[in-house]
Amino acid sequence: MKKVLLIGFGNMGRNHFRAIQKGQVFRLQALMDPMADFSTVPPDVKLARKIEELNDLNQIDAVIVSSPTESHFEVAKYFIQKGKHTLVEKPLAVNVRECQSLLAEQSRSSVKLAVGHVERHNPTVVKLMEILQSGVCGRPIHFAFKRVGYYPKNVQGGNNVVLDLAIHDLDIMSLLQGEVEFKNASGLCYRNSKIIDVCDIGVKSKEGVSATFHASWLGTEKARTIDVYCEFAQIRANLISRKCVVIKTDKSTGESIYEDYEVNADDALVSEHAAFNQLIEGKRSSICTADQGQWAVSLAEAAVNAIGSRS
Ligand SMILES: NC(=O)c1ccc[n+]([C@@H]2O[C@H](COP(=O)([O-])OP(=O)(O)OC[C@H]3O[C@@H](n4cnc5c(N)ncnc54)[C@H](O)[C@@H]3O)[C@@H](O)[C@H]2O)c1
């Protein structure tokens, strides 16, 4: 097992902590967070309140960065320069300029840099991809993504619903259809006049497949769905209830026929860690690479700029 350092022990950091314990590839060697409660952490894990307190990095094989988005650039840069394989939570950074700087830093070393776009490893998304690749529904024509959540407790400047929520689906679309072109975006700064909390984004692939992305922090109920309209059928994936349904029309009666596809119970974050380990070992991996992470940020940035110029 590789020894891992976890940076940030908030909501997502705790999820990584659980997935490290559940998985087979990493052992938690050290944990750093300026203020989190460490009382549940096993005694053999080295604890730190500042990066500088982690003076024995020789013990560390890889780092998982789960601190707030605004800190990703500084923290990831520090560990890449220290020669550590680094998995950064999504988004890779707050803008393309920071992503480019991280990729340039990485290219000067043999370090593997990856991004925690965990939805790639969500068994419902994996099943959706299998259905699309099987051809049973024909060619995809249009994707409609919807991702709704509650307003976050702490929103720092530079963050917004595009970077926080819509970016998950922008990455899924790129995974399914390759690099897509940004077309348009509209949105709203409702709760705070400077922070986008609702957005609708449009993109198109080189082959002409279009997609729309609705994301909102104004929900009172969480939603994460993907509808794919294909030549012969519609596919509906619900990432929360883990359901994947193919909907066809009965030619003789005109009625809808629903075919449920089984989705396995794999833990997406455990799968993400296994994929990061494969990347480190030079094997084929489904992890979001640094350039794919930058691509997702570039689409998000285009959307934020378009919304900003209209509001
Ligand atoms: N992949 C996903 O599905 C998913 C879901 C939620 C959050 N995230 C991402 O995870 C990251 C953290 O989000 P969260 O919801 O856990 O936030 P959070 O506020 O719950 O936790 C952040 C933690 O980082 C600590 N921290 C602050 N500054 C730090 C620094 N410079 N170095 C180290 N630790 C620091 C805080 O004390 C806090 O404990 C964000 O980038 C977010 O986008 C990803």
Q: Does the beta carbon of 197 sit less than 6 angstroms from any atom of ligand 1?
A: no
Which of 5, 6, 11 to mutate to test ligand 1, by most ligand atoms within 8 A of the CB atom? 11
Predicted confidence pLDDT, tens digits, the chain (311 residues): 999 999 999 999 999 999 999 999 999 999 999 999 999 999 999 999 999 999 889 999 999 999 999 999 999 999 999 999 999 999 999 999 999 999 999 999 999 999 999 999 999 999 999 999 999 999 999 999 999 999 998 887 778 999 999 999 999 999 999 989 999 999 999 999 999 999 999 999 999 999 999 999 999 999 999 999 999 999 999 999 999 999 999 999 999 999 999 999 999 999 999 999 999 999 999 999 999 999 999 999 999 999 985 54
Q: Does the beta carbon of 118 sit less than 6 angstroms from any atom of ligand 1?
A: yes
**Ligand 1 midpoint to CA 214 (Å):** 23
Same domain, 171 and 128: yes
Same domain, 246 and 98: no
Which residue, judged by its Cα, is nearest atom 4 of ligand 1? Answer: 12
**Ligand 1 midpoint to CA 251 (Å):** 51
The 10s digit of each residue's pLDDT in 218-248 is 999 999 999 999 999 999 999 999 999 999 9
Look at residue 172 and tell me if it is in a domain. Answer: yes
Same domain, 70 and 133: no
Same domain, 78 and 216: no
Mean pLDDT of the chain: 96
**Ligand 1 midpoint to CA 72 (Å):** 9
Same domain, 84 and 8: yes
Same domain, 19 and 102: yes
Q: Does the beta carbon of 66 sit less than 6 angstroms from any atom of ligand 1?
A: yes
The alpha carbons of the chain give a radius of gyration, in whole angstroms, of: 20
Look at residue 39 and tell me if it is in a domain. Answer: yes
Same domain, 278 and 259: no
Determine phi and psi for 102, rounding to 5 degrees: -65, -40
User: Where residue 16 sits, what CATH number does that domain have?
Assistant: 3.40.50.720
Residue 12 alpha carbon, nearest atom of ligand 1: 16
Residue with tokens 């982690």: 54
Position 25 scores a pLDDT of: 97
**Ligand 1 midpoint to CA 154 (Å):** 10
Residue 269 alpha carbon, nearest atom of ligand 1: 1
Length of the chain, in residues? 311
Same domain, 280 and 262: no
Same domain, 131 and 84: no
User: Where residue 135 sits, what CATH number does that domain have?
Assistant: 3.30.360.10
Starting at the earlier edge strand, list the strands of the sheet with 256-261: 181-188, 198-204, 210-216, 140-148, 223-230, 234-238, 243-249, 256-261
Domain region containing 202: 121-266+297-310
Look at residue 177 and tell me if it is in a domain. Answer: yes
Q: Which two tokens stand for residue 273?
A: 């860690």
Look at residue 291 and tell me if it is in a domain. Answer: no
Helix boundaries (H) for the chain: 11-22, 72-81, 96-107, 123-134, 161, 167-177, 268-280, 290-310
Look at residue 289 and tell me if it is in a domain. Answer: no
Cα 207 to chain centroid, rounded: 24
**Ligand 1 midpoint to CA 14 (Å):** 9
CB-CB contact of 66 with 86 (8 Å): no
Enter the pTM of the model: 0.95
- In the chain, the number of structural domains is 2
Q: Does the beta carbon of 122 sit less than 6 angstroms from any atom of ligand 1?
A: no
Position 157 scores a pLDDT of: 74
Residue 13 alpha carbon, nearest atom of ligand 1: 16
Same domain, 43 and 88: yes
**Ligand 1 midpoint to CA 197 (Å):** 19
Position 233 scores a pLDDT of: 97
Look at residue 292 and tell me if it is in a domain. Answer: no
Q: Which of 43, 36, 47, 41 is nearest to 11 (CA)?
A: 36
Position 144 scores a pLDDT of: 98
Look at residue 23 and tell me if it is in a domain. Answer: yes
The 10s digit of each residue's pLDDT in 59-79 is 999 999 999 999 999 999 999
**Ligand 1 midpoint to CA 254 (Å):** 49
**Ligand 1 midpoint to CA 150 (Å):** 16
Same domain, 256 and 127: yes
Which of 35, 51, 65, 67 to mutate to test ligand 1, by most ligand atoms within 8 A of the CB atom? 67
* Distance between CA atoms of residues 64 and 271, nearest Å: 14
Position 120 scores a pLDDT of: 97
Same domain, 65 and 162: no
